[in-house]
Amino acid sequence: MKKYIYTVMLFAFTIMANSQELKLSPYSQYLVENTFVISPAYAGIDDVHKLRLSGVAQWLGVENAPLTQQLSYDTRISENTGVGVILYNDRNGNTKQMGAQLSYAYHLILSEADDEYLSFGLSYKFNHFKIDTDKFDDGTGTGNNDPHVGASESTSNHNFEVGALYRIKNYFVGANASNILNKATKIFDNSEPVKLRNYYLFTGYTFLSDNDEYEYEPSLFFKYFEGDGRSVSDINFKARKLTDDGYYWAGINTRFLNDQGFKPLSVSPLLGLKKDKMYLGLGYQFNINESIQFGSYGTPLLVLGYDFDGGRYNTSWSSRK
């Protein structure tokens, strides 16, 4: 039992080390129109006060599965600069995390005639992680009576993320480096990862129908974990129907494990709408890899949003015309 508890504790802190910035899956968030979450370079890219509330219930059907809530806000503060903040809370069995991300972005207009823009972003990130050993059960039904298991542990971390985004007409490409700083200390074991850096690369193109009523957007996303060499790739497609006061959209996300021979990991249908200032996005991830099914029925995603009035600055470099 003691070995089992130590294993659980080490596993929990390993999760924290690999995802201490803990954001909802970045590219799923992009697909539900929450671009600021994927990169700090998107902060203030639209001349509105953009508020988004997101929730994810991972692995439905699994006891004590992760529950995550996230609130994001970004806006423009001058002709070429934007700021944003992300707050999150996550609970996963006997572990929980909460934290914040503060972002700043600068947007360069390379050519208004060609709709060519270059954006840079920087984020400061704070994460607090706690594992509650008081709720461990030693198998007797009377709680945790193992004298080798100490009191609950917690730790806080500070880190940074940088990002760049290039756009020309209907094409975009971006890159991020997240968790730039290495982990300062090891909590339980020398096998805990020290390198926390993740790298993102994403790109896509928006095709317009002849009557400008529909938009079709294929996109790709790549994420690399420096600590253990893992990587994943996403292939995505999204279609929008534009209306006088907003748009409707539907999309599909397919994720692959690159280190397992591009083996499929999950498929996620998504849909949503934007009407005036209100926004709604829905998604559901179906796990198709036996290594993560665990009897799970999948993972739902909900995003609610509201865009407060902006219009104070030049909108030539906004993400949507």
Residue 20 inside a domain? The answer is no
Model confidence pLDDT, tens digit, residues 250-287: 999 999 999 888 999 899 999 999 999 999 999 999 98
At 3 the pLDDT is 44
Residue 261 forms part of a structural domain: yes
State the residue range of the domain holding 276: 27-309
For residue 232, give the CATH number of its domain. Answer: 2.40.160.60
Residue 155: both structure tokens together: 């730790």
260 assigned to some structural domain: yes
More confident residue, 31 or 217: 217
CA 268 from chain center: how many Å? Answer: 15
- Tell me what pLDDT residue 276 has: 93
Contact 12, 19 (CB under 8 A): no
CA distance 68 to 72: 13
Q: Is 183 a domain residue?
A: yes
Instruction: Kindly report the average pLDDT of the chain as a whole number.
Output: 83
Report the number of distinct structural domains present in the chain.
Answer: 1
pLDDT band at residue 11 using 50, 70 and 90 as cut-offs: very low
**pTM of the entire predicted model:** 0.85
Cβ neighbourhood burial of 147 (10 Å; 0-12, 13-18, 19+): exposed
Q: Tell me whether residue 173 is in a domain.
A: yes
8 bridge partner residues: none
pLDDT tens across 132-144, in order?
A: 776 666 565 655 5
Q: The dihedral of CA 33, 37, 43, 48: what is its sign?
A: positive
pLDDT at site 15:
44
pLDDT at 95: 85
Tokens describing residue 44: 């203030």
In-domain check, residue 256:
yes
Dist CA 84 CA 44 (whole Å): 7
SS3 279: strand
CA pair distance 249, 262, nearest whole angstrom: 28
Any idea which of 10-14, 102-106, 149-153 has the lowest mean pLDDT?
10-14
